[in-house]
């Protein structure tokens, strides 16, 4: 059934009022680069009776630093993040953002929208999870803050309630860490990942002291590869990168025979590359 109602709010309060009253019957359109295609193809369930376009709620369009976090508003675009000096220190995030779609897509698409559709290979989701970002979810009743891992590594329908708005994404500032992102795709541009990896690293004297490894497009959801993190902990970066070759994390669920062997052969390689890239940034600061 096609949506019969259209809402164009100009405040967060209006958004939350509509969500509270319509809940399952309304779908939010932010940048619309993904959800509009799904709506057109009839792949949004349940079929909405209303569409709410939130791009005119300008109070959600910001990137600012607050309390040791870089805070990204719910309608801030990938383009604005790429251009923000506050986001620039997050190297892995910058690399992931530059891989998303094309310049016109990055000008309207948003990380909040990508999170809301829960795409398993979303480049930005992998980077933000590796950076230990959190998500502020607002409803008329209350706000709650969840880790990106809680939201992104689960079914969006079970974690994000239908009366909730992704109001803000918060990225903690960690000046001792460095990050790197690598994506493999069939085309060099405007293509979804076949496999992607983001590593956030803390190291001393060439030894891995802490690493967060996140993979995209190796399961039905973005995953944190804790088995890889344990393998390389307290290990020299060169040895760690070498040990990852051929290693298949237990968190991956590669079921498709069409590209299963390819993905298994490259996962460890690209994580090792990202690990070396992140360490090179740390070493370059000295």
Look at residue 152 in the predicted model and tell me its pLDDT: 79
- Name which of 162-171, 186-195, 230-239, 245-254 the model is least confident about: 186-195
Alpha-carbon distance of 15 to 8, in angstroms, equals: 9
The fraction of the chain above a pLDDT of 90, given in percent, is 67
* 23 contacts: CB under 8 Å, gap ≥ 6: 162, 163
Look at residue 155 in the predicted model and tell me its pLDDT: 64
Look at residue 34 in the predicted model and tell me its pLDDT: 67
CA atoms within 13 A on the CB side of 239: 9
Phi/psi at 187 (5° precision): -110, 160
Please tell me whether the overall predicted TM-score, pTM, comes out greater than 0.85 for this model: yes
| pLDDT exceeds 80 at position 138 | yes
Average pLDDT over residues 249-273: 90
Look at residue 1 in the predicted model and tell me its pLDDT: 43
Per-residue pLDDT of 46-78, as tens digits, reads 678 888 999 999 999 999 999 999 999 999 999
Per-residue pLDDT of 158-210, as tens digits, reads 688 889 999 999 999 999 999 999 999 887 667 788 899 999 999 999 999 99
- Name which of 5-19, 144-158, 224-238, 257-271 the model is least confident about: 144-158
């Amino acid at each position: 059934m096609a949506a019969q109602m259209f809402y164009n709010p100009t405040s967060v309060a209006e958004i939350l009022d509509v969500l509270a009253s319509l809940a399952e019957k309304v779908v939010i359109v932010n940048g619309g680069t993904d959800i509009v295609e799904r709506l057109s193809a009839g792949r949004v369930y349940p079929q909405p009776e209303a569409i709410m376009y939130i791009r005119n709620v300008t109070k959600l369009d910001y990137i600012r630093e607050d309390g040791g976090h870089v805070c990204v508003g719910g309608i801030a675009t990938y383009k604005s993040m790429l251009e923000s000096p506050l986001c620039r220190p997050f190297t892995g995030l910058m690399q992931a953002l530059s891989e998303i779609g094309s310049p016109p897509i990055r000008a309207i698409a948003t990380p909040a929208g990508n999170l809301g559709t829960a795409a398993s290979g979303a480049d930005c989701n992998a980077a933000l999870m590796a950076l230990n970002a959190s998500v502020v979810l607002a409803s008329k009743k209350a706000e709650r803050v969840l880790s990106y891992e809680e939201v992104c590594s689960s079914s969006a329908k079970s974690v994000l309630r239908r009366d909730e708005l992704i109001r803000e994404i918060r990225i903690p500032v960690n000046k001792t860490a460095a990050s790197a992102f690598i994506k493999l795709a069939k085309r060099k541009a405007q293509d979804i990942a076949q496999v992607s990896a983001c590593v956030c690293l803390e190291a001393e004297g060439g030894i891995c002291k802490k690493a967060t490894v996140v993979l995209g497009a190796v399961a039905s959801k973005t995953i944190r590869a804790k088995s890889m993190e344990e393998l390389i902990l307290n290990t020299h970066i060169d040895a760690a990168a070498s040990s990852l070759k051929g290693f298949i994390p237990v968190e991956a669920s590669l079921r498709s025979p069409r590209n299963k062997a390819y993905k298994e052969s490259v996962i460890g390689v690209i994580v090792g590359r990202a690990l070396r890239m992140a360490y090179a940034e740390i070493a370059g600061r000295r």
